[in-house]
Structure 1
C-alpha cells in the first residue's frame, strides 16, 4: 500500500503528459514553438510522473537494495535526478523565453541547473571517483534557487492587476508558484543520490581491501 501514492503519481503524470501532448499537437501548426509557448505545458505532468518514479525508487533503496534497474542504486538515482534537473531547466527556458527574460534573475534557472545536471550525470557514469564538492555546491545553489525563485514568482503574481487581492485570478495568470520548488526537490534528491553513491563506493573499497 505504501507504493500506491507513488504509482498513482506515475500513472496520472503519464496520462497528463499524453493529454498535454495532444493539446499541443491538435493546434494549428502542431509541434511548433508557438504551441509549446502557449499550449498546455508538457513539463508539468512529466514532473509529476518523475516524482512518482523517485518515490518508487526510494522504497527499495530504503530497504537496502544495492541496485535499481540493473545499476548501482546511487548511480541510478544520480542519473534520474540529473535528467529531472535538465528537463525542468528546459521548461523554465521555454517559459522565461516567452517572458522575454524581463528580469536578469530569469537567466539563473537556465544556466545553473543545466551545469548541475551535467555534473550529476558525470557521477552516474561507471568509474566516476573522487570528491564531488563542486557538484554538491551546485546542488545547494539549486536548492536555494527553488526557494528564491518562488519569491520572485510571488512578486510576479503581486504585480498583476489587483495583486494578491485578486489572488484567485492572478495565481492562474501570473508565474506559477509551484515551478521553482521543483529545482529544490530535485537538488535534494541529487544530494541524497551523491551520498548514497559515496557510501556504496566506500563499501566497495572496504570489501576490496578485506579481500586483499
Structure 2
C-alpha cells in the first residue's frame, strides 16, 4: 500500500503539473498586454505553486526511495505542500498587500531549500571519491533543493510586490519588472544546470534531450536583455518564453515515454517510476517561463 501511494502521487503530480502549466499558458494568451503589479504578483504566486508541486512529487519519490533514513527528509514534503497551498491561495488573491502567512511560508521554503542544499552537498562529500562524476550522478541531486528555494523566492517576491504602489513599483531598489526579470533569468540558468548534469548522465541518447539545455538558456538570455535594455514590447522574447513553457509540458510526455521503455513499461510502474526519468521535473521550466512572461509584461510598462 505504501508503494502504491508513492507511485500514484508521482503520476498524479506529474500530470497535474503539466495541466497547470497548460492552463497558465492559456491564461497568459488571454491576458491584456499591460498588467498591473497585482496581476504580476498573482502570476508569480502561481509559478511558485507549480514549482512547489514539482518539488513535492519529486522529493516524495526520491526520499521514499531513500527510505527516509534521515528524519529531515520529510521536511521538503511538508514545506513544498505548504508552498503549493500558499501559491494557489495567492494566485486567487487580488489584495494589494502581502499576506503574512503566505510570506512566512515562502521564507520557510527558501530556508528549507538552502538547508537541503547543504544536506545534499554533505551526502556527496561523505561518499568515497567525494567530488567525482559518479557521486554527482548518483548521490543526492545537488540542484534539487534549489527548486524549493526558487519556489520560495518567487512567492516572496510576489508578496513584496503587492506592498508596492501601482505607480512605478520597485523591488530590491530596482523597477519591479526589471528585478523580476533578473530573478527569473537566474532561476532558469540554475534549473538548466541540474538538467544538463542528468541528461549528460543519460548520454543524450535521444536528440530531444538537447532541447532543455538549449531552449531555456536562450530564454534566460532574452530575459536578461529585457531587464537590462530599455523597456519596450519584445515579441520574440514572449514567443521564446511560451516555447519554454510548452517544453515543460512536452517534457512530461517524453519522460512518460522513457518510463514506458523500461522493462515491463507502465505495467511495472511501481519500479519504473523510480528507474525512469523523473516525471515531475520538466514543469519547472513551465513555471519559470510563466513567471518570465509576467515579468516582461510588467517591464513593458516601466519607463
**Distance (whole Å) between structure 2 residues aligned to residue 165 and residue 11 of structure 1:** 39
**Distance (whole Å) between structure 2 residues aligned to residue 79 and residue 142 of structure 1:** 17
Partner residue, 2:114: 14
Provide the secondary structure at the position in 2 that maps to 1:3.
Answer: helix
1:88-127 aligned within 5 A: 88-125=191-228, 127=229
The correspondence for 1:149, drawn from 247, 251, 272, is 251
Which runs of no fewer than 5 residues in structure 1 stay unpaired? 205-212
Provide the secondary structure at the position in 1 that maps to 2:262.
Answer: coil
**Distance (whole Å) between structure 2 residues aligned to residue 48 and residue 92 of structure 1:** 16
Moved more, 21-30 or 147-156: 21-30
Q: Do the aligned partners of 2:248 and 2:286 also contact (CA within 8 Å) in 1?
A: yes
**TM-score normalised over the length of structure 1:** 0.89
Provide the secondary structure at the position in 2 that maps to 1:55.
Answer: helix
Provide the secondary structure at the position in 1 that maps to 2:221.
Answer: helix
The correspondence for 1:39, drawn from 127, 139, 162, is 139
**Distance (whole Å) between structure 1 residues aligned to residue 150 and residue 184 of structure 2:** 9
Task: Please list every run of at least 4 consecutive aligned residues from structure 1 whose deviation after the TM superposition is greater than 3 angstroms.
Answer: none
1:132-211 aligned within 5 A: 132-199=234-301, 201=302, 204=303
Paired residue total? 200
Query: RMSD of aligned C-alpha atoms?
Result: 1.4
Shift of 1:121: 1.1
**Distance (whole Å) between structure 2 residues aligned to residue 123 and residue 156 of structure 1:** 36
Q: Do the aligned partners of 2:109 and 2:151 also contact (CA within 8 Å) in 1?
A: yes
